Amino acid sequence: MDVPVLDVLNVPTVSGYNNVEEVEGYQHLVDELSLKIEELEQKMIEVEQFNSSTSKKQLKASKGSSNSKDKDKEKHIPSLKKQQQEASKREAAAAKRMHDLMRQFGTILSQITRHKWAWPFMQPVDVEGLGLHDYYEVIDKPMDFNTIKNQMEANDGTGYKNVRQICGDVRLVFKNAMKYNEERSNVHVMAKTLLKKFEEKWLQFLPKVIEEEKRREEEEAEAQMNIQLVYEAAHNKMARDINNELHELDLHLEELREMVVQKCRKISVEEKRKLGASLTKLSPEDLSKALEIVAQNNPGFQATAEEVDLDIDAQRKREISNAIAKAVKRNSKKPAS
């Protein structure tokens, strides 16, 4: 058998990596990493959108404070569960304070209802008994002190939520009477007189109401800010975690690239020389097998030519080297003839 001369010292530039199974394996890894990167990038977009929507609030909240103070504050932000627990306690305390205010307002109401002119307004207007056939055409929302009293004592959730609601209904009692009855009528005069007395007492009581409303408003604003900080801290942590994951994926992709490059790199001159020396020691049969390795992934390769150029990369070189090693080992075991 004529053995072709191998010109391994003139290996041309590598045209690509030819092991289909390994290429598909690497492609699968790349696809998985790319998909993971897309997912992380989408999460990062969501974080950026959240930060953008809250940037104005952050600027107002951080005005006059340093970044170091902001970072130190972030470390002490209570958890969302803690915020919810504090909100429940705050609501309970506010409800108790409002109950106390209503009790104090009840004293004013008692003073008005004990007045000698209060009797026409204690019970709902007897529309049918008094023959007031147009009453509901004139009055949209009838009101009386007995109805107010019942709603103040209601425990089924239908009662008054704050003192201003009670105040509004007290005014409605007198304004309905003034609206329906002529200005010079007794009921109109009685309602106007009692309304004036009520407004005087209400003005004395109003500072307490305003103080409680201001306190409640400040508490709610602080609670909203704390909840906002909780979400911001969570999104900031998410952003840091995503950045770390993206960095790790970048490293993984770089490692993968290096692995592929190493498998596809051109072999060095020294490697060519050693490979050529090894091939010359093979029997014609083993040399043909080595050339078949090249031909498997190189359709244009002609193993029967007298002189051939091998277009091989590091991976193919390893396969040929393994074939040479097996041949040498097999031949070393044969008995001498």
* Residue closest to 187 by CA, chosen among 231, 249, 122, 255: 122
Residue 172 token pair: 């409605």
Under a CB-based contact definition with an 8 Å cutoff, are residues 200 and 5 in contact?
no
User: Which pLDDT score, from 0 to 100, does residue 116 have?
Assistant: 96
Helices (H) and strands (E) in the chain, counts: 11, 2
Please report, as a single letter, which amino acid is at residue 192: K
Q: Which residues pair with 313 in a beta bridge?
A: 266
Return the CA Rg of the chain.
Answer: 46
CA distance linking residue 325 with residue 328, whole number of Å: 5
CA distance linking residue 125 with residue 16, whole number of Å: 98
CA distance linking residue 289 with residue 295, whole number of Å: 10
CA distance linking residue 294 with residue 308, whole number of Å: 11
CA distance linking residue 184 with residue 203, whole number of Å: 27
Q: What is the pTM of this model?
A: 0.51
CA 272 to each of CA 87, 170, 212, 261, 314: distance values in angstroms, whole numbers, following the listed order: 77, 105, 90, 18, 10
pLDDT tens, per residue, the chain with 337 residues: 444 444 443 434 333 444 556 667 777 777 787 787 778 777 777 777 776 666 555 545 444 444 444 444 445 455 767 777 777 787 888 888 888 999 999 999 999 999 999 999 999 999 999 999 999 999 999 999 999 999 999 888 788 999 999 999 999 999 999 999 999 999 999 999 999 999 999 999 999 999 999 998 888 888 788 777 777 777 778 878 888 887 887 888 788 777 776 666 666 667 767 767 777 777 777 777 777 766 665 666 665 655 655 555 555 666 667 677 776 666 666 565 5
User: Which pLDDT score, from 0 to 100, does residue 13 have?
Assistant: 36
CA distance linking residue 290 with residue 246, whole number of Å: 43
CA distance linking residue 216 with residue 94, whole number of Å: 7
Under a CB-based contact definition with an 8 Å cutoff, are residues 264 and 314 in contact?
yes
Q: Which domains does the chain have, with CATH numbers?
A: 5-39+265-333 (no CATH), 80-227 (1.20.920.10)
User: Which pLDDT score, from 0 to 100, does residue 17 have?
Assistant: 43
157: left (phi over 0), alpha (psi -120 to 50) or beta: left
